[in-house]
Every structure is written in C-alpha cells, then in structure tokens.
Structure 1
Amino acid sequence: MTRWTWKPEVSSSGGARYQAIADAIAAAIDGGELRPGERLPPQRDLSFRMSVSVQTIFRAYAELERRGLVSGEIGRGTFVRYANPDKVPGSIVDKREEDLLDFSTMAPIVGEKHVKALRDMLAALSKSRELESLLAHRPIVGLHHHRMVGADWLKTLDLKASPETMLITNGCQHGLWVALASVTEPGDIVAADHLVDSSVITESMILKLQLRGLASDESGILPDGFAALCNRERVKAICVTPTLNNPTASLMDEERRRAIAEIARAFNVWIIEDDVFGPLLDQRPRPIAAFAPERSCYATSFSKSVLHSLRTGYLLVPEILMSRAISRLRTTGWMSNSFVAEISCRWLADGTIAELIAWQRRKLARRHSILDRALGDAQRTSHPASLHVWLPLPGRWRTGPFVEEARRRGLLITGPDPFIVGRDTDPHAVRLTIGDSVREDEDFQRGVETLARLLASDLEASSPAI
C-alpha cells in the first residue's frame, strides 16, 4: 500500500524542521495511521507538498531509519517496518533479499574467468619487484606508469590523452565528482539529461548547484534544448553520458556529439563526460571530448565493463584545470588505490581487459536475447551490449504500484524517481538491469518471464490502495 497523497501533520513548535517531520511520521506509525509494510511518499513529492527542501525530507527519513521505524532502499522507496518479524505477512516487505531477483543493481556479469584472472594476477603481484612501489602515498594524481598506460588506452578513442593531464581516481563516479567540483562554484547552473544518474543529482545538491534537466530522445540530449537553455541562462557545465545513458540507455550518435560540443564552445560551457559504459561497445562513436578537448573533463573506468570492484577511474582534464582537480582529488581520498590501479594497468597491457570485455559483450548479448524472447513486442530502449533496459509501462500502470507489485512477485526493479531532475514529469517507465545481480541465466529467464506476465496482467493498477 502506498500513501501517494499523505503528508504528516507537523507541529509549529521550535526545533529543527526535519526532526519535527520525523516526529510527526513516527506518531502516525505509532497511532496506526501508517501501517507496517506501507511505503512512505517519495522524498521529492513530499518535499513539494510540504514546501521544504528534498534534503530536509532526506534527513527526516534518515532519522526514522535510525530509530528503526522505517527501512529505506535506494530506487525502491522507504517502507514502515514491522515491529515483530513473526507477524510479517507474505508481502513485499517480508521477503529476504536472497529470496528476490535483483534487477535493480548495476554490475557487470562475473564468471570463473574473472576469478582465475584475479587469482593469477595476485600471485604475480606477490612475487613482483614492483610491489614496494605500490606502498607510496604520492603522487596524488596516481603513479606515472598507471597514467601512461591509461593515456595510451584513451588515445585509441581519438582523445588527446597524456599522463600530464590525467588523474587516476577511485572509479568513474569519483572522477565525475572531482571534475564537477573543479569547474563549478555554489549557485552555478549545470545542465543534464532530464533523466540522469542519481549521483549527478546528489552531487549537485551537495555542491549547491542548480541542476537543469534537458529534453532527450533515444539518441540522448537534444541539442536545440541545450542551446535554448544557454540562451536563457548562464550555464556553467553540462553533465552528459552519451553512451548508454543511465537510466534511459540512449546512445548519442557522432553528429549529435559534435553538436553538443559546438554549443558548449559557443556558450563557454564546461563538458563533463561520463563514459563508464563506453568500453562495452565494440564500435562506438568518438567521445564528445574529442570534439572539444579544451573544455572537456572525460571520465571512465572498468567498473561497468569488467568487474564492479575494479574501481580504477581515468579522469582526463584540460591542463588549465589540473591544479584545481588535484586539490579536489586530494580532499576526497588523497589518491587512488594503487593496488587496484596496478591490476588494471597490467590487465590493459597484457590484453586481459580486452578479453574480459569481449566476454562481457557475449554474455550481455545472450541476456538481451532471453529478454527479447520474454518481452516480445513490449516497448523498450536498450542496446545489445547495455547493462540496463529502459521499459515504458503500459498505459494502465503507474510506476510506483508497478515497482511494488514486481517486488511482491519477487523482483527488484527501479522506478524513475531517483533519476528525475527537479519536478519533471514522471515518465511512467522503469529501469531493468541485466547484469551480475542475477548471476545465473536460468534465474534471469525466470525473472524476465515473471516481468512479462506482470506487464500483460489485467491487474487494476492505475489507482493505488489508500
């Protein structure tokens, strides 16, 4: 059950606003107004109805979770907890995580091939004369040979990469944070797809930036919308994932990438390019950074194409930004993990990275084939090498009830709420991940067949129970 229009009655007494909201929700739980298993309103919706910031609602929900009254799950919602587990009915909240098929977590597929490669590499490292060099706590930008090998790899994408303008980060998200913090100041306007990775939304909130959503289609951000925004407001940067955008899986062609770069140059806008999914494509367009290197921060890693734990990020920035980027890198982690970076470096040099990525593409192609057979003509946006699928819902469904019903049937999927910039319209679609969170193909097939039945069901879904 979901209270889509419910909001707490908050007293006007003094004290922190988030505490008052938490107390009011706690009182509603104690009084039976909110029952165990009910989902609280999405933070964005409740903040709008109460005329408070999303951060205030976030802190209120965090306080309730600290008290043990609710349980929050990213991308799925916040639910009232059962005080006595023995009384929990067979519903969406009593299922243990291991009883659910997780189609909500983004991670590449892993097999015995990865385990063997890692075991062999750790054995080689233990005998290496270079092991001692990995104990150093400088340079902050990463060891020189790590940057050199990374730069050589990025040159194959037609990028002007060199060790002098590269930083090794702890994954792509860390690199994007460093880049965004390097080119903006509080209050600056930043553009992004109107459906964007939730980390961009969170980073913008923490850095006190004004995030503006841009219209997009199956090829990504529409250049005309970007240009129109730049004509109206002083845009400082654009965050863009041109290859398999999360969550929409859109793929920007080279012509549009060039157009985005030209608009950014015309209006003096920094480009922050997230290419974490890029390695999954065998033939991919050149990065946007290749068309405007003087104003582009380009970030990528292997966490979505090889191993989720292989969190070596490569951040390429213009020389003019290096000093600021180094200071942000130092502040948010001092330097990257040299041991993980060494594994990435050696695997790049000996061809293991290329071999594991090719293996990943084959596995994902098989997953997409299973998905295509199960879903048939159901509308969706994806790519044979993508880790996720964007699935518009049939007209009778709303996303909240659909996500909850899917969970009741044993599936974890992600609604659009974490990805929506500002108060943009709910697109009535869900994101389905098809990677390692469901490792066995048999379980994957069972899950997507369950999803297909749900999509085709006659369940009265447009009006949630109150």
Structure 2
Amino acid sequence: MTIWEPPAPPTGVPRYLALADAIGADIAAGRLRPGERLPPQRELARRLGVTVATVGRAYQVAVRRGLLTGEVGRGTFVAPAPSRPAAPGAALLDLATVHPPGHGAVHRAVAPVLHRIAADPLAVSGEDADAVRHRIAGARWLAYGDWRPDPAHVEVTAGGQHGLAAALATLAQPRHVVVTTELTNPGLLAAARLLRVELATVPSDEWGPRPDAVDRICARRRVAALHLHPTLHNPTVVTMPARRRQEIAAVAAAHDLPVIEEDPFGALLPDRPPPVAALHPRTVLLGGITKTLAPGLRIGYRYAPPSLAAPLSAAARALAWAPAPLVAEVATQLVLGGAAVPLAAARAAELAARAALARDLLGDRVYAPGPAPFAWIRLDGDGGQVAERARRRGLAVAGTAEFAARRSAPAGLRVSLSADDASVRTALHALARLLGG
C-alpha cells in the first residue's frame, strides 16, 4: 500500500474534487504509479480530517476519470497506463467532451447569485422587465470592439444548439442547400439531419473557408444560407482573420445570402476580429456562455436583423419554447454584475497553458493555438481508426467522422482540453505515447 497524502486543497473547491484532482496530478507527475494501492478510505479520511464519504466520492470521481480502479476485497489501485489495452467497460480518459468542468471558480461565482435569487421570489418571474434584462445581458456578452448589438434584436435561447436549430428551421428552403465547411460543428450535422436540410461544403485553407469557393457554389447552386464558425472553429481551431471575414461578408452581400455565424468560444479570445455580423447585415449571430463557463448554464444569445426576428422567434418557441427562467437569471446576473468576463479570462489562461502542453507533447501534427477548449491533430490516414485504437487503450477522442460534412473531409482528431487539469495532462501523455507508436 502506498503511503500517500495529498497537499492541502485550494479554498473554495469541494474537498472531494480537490482530492480527485490531487490524485490525477500525482499520477501525471509519477508520484503515484500504475498498480500502486491507495490508502483505505477510512485511514485516509482520518489523516486528512475529512469524512469517509468525502474520500469515497473522490475515489469514485477518479475511477470515472480512468485514474483508479477498485477491486472488491483488495482496495483501490492506480489504473494501468493507458498504453495498455483497456478492459471492456473500463472508464475512459475523456478527451472527446469539450464542456468546461463546471466547478471551482464558476461555483464560487454562482453561489451568491443563487442566494440572492432565493431571497427574492420575484427574481425569476415572467414579467417583461426581466426579459429585457436578459436581452441586455445577451447584447453585452455578444458585443465586441465598436460593434454593439441592439438588445431589442437579441433573444435568449436554451443554449447554442437551440439557436442553431431555430436558425436552420427558419432559413432553410426546399431544394436549397446550406453551405458549410468540410469539417464542421457536429451540432450542425445533427440539426440538419433532424430538419432534413441538405448541406453543401466548401474547402478551407489556413484562414478558414475560401471566399472564391463560396462565390462559385452560390453561382451554381440554390443556397439558402452560409454557415460560419469564424472564431476558434470547431473542430480545426482556426480563427478567421479580419481580412478573410471581410472577403466572406462581401461574397455573402453580393449574393444577398443570409449567414449563420456561430461564436460559442469568442469570449475566450479577447483580441479576435469583429464578428461577421458587424460586416454583413443579414447575419444571425449565435453566442452564449455554456461552453465558456459551465455546462449547467445552458444559455445562448441570438442576434438577428429585424427582418428575421419574428420567424426566428417562432422557430425557437416551436423547438424549445424558451430557456429556463432561473438559468437565464443566473446568467444575466453573472454578465451584468461583471463576473462573467473575469471567469472567461481565467478559463482562457488555463486553456492556453494546456494548449502549450499539447504542442510540446504532440509536436507539429497538432494545431493548438490556444486558448481553445480543444486542439486538432492532423492525420494522414483514417481518423476513425486512430480514434478506435485510442479507445481500446482507454482514451476517448473525437475522430473525423463526427465533424465531416462530406466523405472526403481532411482526416484528424479533435482532442479536448476542457476537463480538469490532471485528467488533461494524463490523457495528453497517453495520446502522445499512442501516436508515437
């Protein structure tokens, strides 16, 4: 049995999560080695001055992260290195999910907001004044540089996917196509399948979708809308520079083409160029705080020109009616109270450090400019095969097929950097060993 004791946990973090994070950190640092037995829960609880339940929950979290294994009658052990084949049903190190963990600093910021709401029974009422406040918060969150959307043209949605599905339902037309990139947001693929919207693709270069390709497809096909993800593109992490955005906007304007612009990660990149919505008036801009701050805050913000506002609102209500008033109020207080931007900045700094580690471990094959919640690994072969090899070794990653809007899409893997720090480090080391042979 290992004589192991974690460092004192940081303040404001639940003890069980701090303990699980410490286990992951010490595994990544080599202080805990595969196969080593951890102290019994009761003994470690006594040494740390916590309850047995706290240690039990920490061990459970570590097991779900693929860091530990439990054997009835024998104890708890450090899991085998991911380079070995994973046992059927074993927990996976998750580098596929891109949601932030949703605890720590965000919990500390949300707690006083919930206390204030609990003390005010009218805080989540359905009065129009509350809806106006939510739209003002949305306009503030979407604003960037000199571009300030009118709150009257902003609607709160039940997350980004809700807004995206409503935009597709509104703009797609029979026998028309919606144009996107060859690799695109899987949420778009899912919504298009559900709504029976045909997608057509254009190739991309190092700066995003090529304007000449967009122009050509508009000349030969009936195009209902152009879908863009110009900032920290999912999955390739490309951020379109200002000039490319201007070129794309000019093509869209020449064809009188509506644009659906997704921007779920924009707040992570404070020096990003202005959105396409600031350049082309027929743009529906979709943002939100879910993928920046916490998955439980499922709130999106949709900006649209007045000519599209009514049909977009009708589609949104048909799909999900409206976001939960309580969650919308929490998001509003975080944004208007000034807490949301510092939380996003702290998250960006954390992700930038992980992107640097990914570049160090994976070399030239990885594109991880930071501070994105994921990195993109370019592959010469089949991304699906590599993803399956990783899964057999206990590592979950997202292969090409999850993002491909056409069969010949470039091969690669999207590697999430969004879990807790210890899990990301452990998984990146495992991935480096896998790709190294």
Q: If the length of structure 2 is used for normalisation, what is the TM-score?
A: 0.77
- Say which SS state the counterpart of residue 332 (structure 1) adopts: helix
Q: What's the counterpart of residue 398 of structure 2?
A: 414
Q: Among 198, 201, 205, which residue is 2:189 paired with?
A: 201
Does the C-alpha gap of structure 1 residues 95 and 453 become closer, same or farther in structure 2, counting only changes over 3 Å? Answer: same
Q: Among 122, 142, 146, which residue is 1:132 paired with?
A: 122
Give the CA RMSD over aligned residues: 2.0
Q: Are 1:142 and 1:168, in contact at CA under 8 Å, matched by a contact in 2?
A: no
CA distance in 2, matches of 1:447, 1:153: 33
Q: Are 1:213 and 1:421, in contact at CA under 8 Å, matched by a contact in 2?
A: yes
Q: Are 2:263 and 2:285, in contact at CA under 8 Å, matched by a contact in 1?
A: yes
CA distance in 2, matches of 1:134, 1:110: 22
Q: What's the counterpart of residue 218 of structure 1?
A: 206
**1:55-94 correspondence to structure 2 within 5 Å:** 94=88
Q: Which consecutive residues of structure 2, in runs of 5 or more, have no partner in the other structure?
A: 1-83
> How far apart are residue 158 of structure 1 and its match?
3.7
- Say which SS state the counterpart of residue 376 (structure 2) adopts: strand
Which runs of 4 or more aligned residues in structure 1 lie more than 6 Å from their structure 2 counterparts after TM superposition?
none
**1:13-412 correspondence to structure 2 within 5 Å:** 94-96=88-90, 99-128=91-120, 131-132=121-122, 134-136=124-126, 143-293=131-281, 295-375=282-362, 377-393=363-379, 395=380, 397-412=381-396
- Say which SS state the counterpart of residue 399 (structure 2) adopts: coil
CA distance in 2, matches of 1:417, 1:246: 13
> How far apart are residue 161 of structure 1 and its match?
1.6
Task: Point out the more displaced range, 264-273 or 324-333.
Answer: 324-333
Quick one: which amino acid aligns to residue 368 of structure 1? Answer: A
Quick one: which amino acid aligns to residue 260 of structure 2? Answer: I
Task: Point out the more displaced range, 269-278 or 175-184.
Answer: 175-184
- Say which SS state the counterpart of residue 268 (structure 1) adopts: coil
> How far apart are residue 389 of structure 1 and its match?
0.8
Quick one: which amino acid aligns to residue 302 of structure 1? Answer: I
Q: Which consecutive residues of structure 1, in runs of 5 or more, have no partner in the other structure?
A: 1-89, 458-466
Q: If the length of structure 1 is used for normalisation, what is the TM-score?
A: 0.72
> How far apart are residue 297 of structure 1 and its match?
0.4
- Say which SS state the counterpart of residue 366 (structure 2) adopts: coil
Does the C-alpha gap of structure 1 residues 426 and 236 become closer, same or farther in structure 2, counting only changes over 3 Å? Answer: closer
- Say which SS state the counterpart of residue 365 (structure 2) adopts: coil
After superposition, give the CA deviation of every residue in 1:391-431 in whole Å (9 maximum; x if it has no partner). Answer: 012x4x532321111112211001110211133x1523111
CA distance in 2, matches of 1:271, 1:352: 31
Quick one: which amino acid aligns to residue 338 of structure 2? Answer: G
Q: Are 1:171 and 1:313, in contact at CA under 8 Å, matched by a contact in 2?
A: yes
> How far apart are residue 356 of structure 1 and its match?
0.6
After superposition, give the CA deviation of every residue in 1:83-111 in whole Å (9 maximum; x if it has no partner). Answer: xxxxxxx9557133xx2110001112444
Does the C-alpha gap of structure 1 residues 452 and 288 become closer, same or farther in structure 2, counting only changes over 3 Å? Answer: same
CA distance in 1, matches of 2:297, 2:423: 25
Q: Are 1:142 and 1:338, in contact at CA under 8 Å, matched by a contact in 2?
A: no
CA distance in 2, matches of 1:407, 1:256: 37
Q: Are 1:272 and 1:297, in contact at CA under 8 Å, matched by a contact in 2?
A: yes
Q: How many corresponding residue pairs?
A: 354
Task: Point out the more displaced range, 141-150 or 187-196.
Answer: 141-150
- Say which SS state the counterpart of residue 378 (structure 1) adopts: helix
Q: Among 418, 423, 435, which residue is 1:435 paired with?
A: 418
Q: Are 1:92 and 1:404, in contact at CA under 8 Å, matched by a contact in 2?
A: no
CA distance in 1, matches of 2:321, 2:103: 33
- Say which SS state the counterpart of residue 245 (structure 1) adopts: coil
Q: Are 2:173 and 2:224, in contact at CA under 8 Å, matched by a contact in 1?
A: no
Identical-pair percentage: 30
Quick one: which amino acid aligns to residue 215 of structure 1? Answer: P
> How far apart are residue 186 of structure 1 and its match?
3.2
Q: Are 1:142 and 1:335, in contact at CA under 8 Å, matched by a contact in 2?
A: no
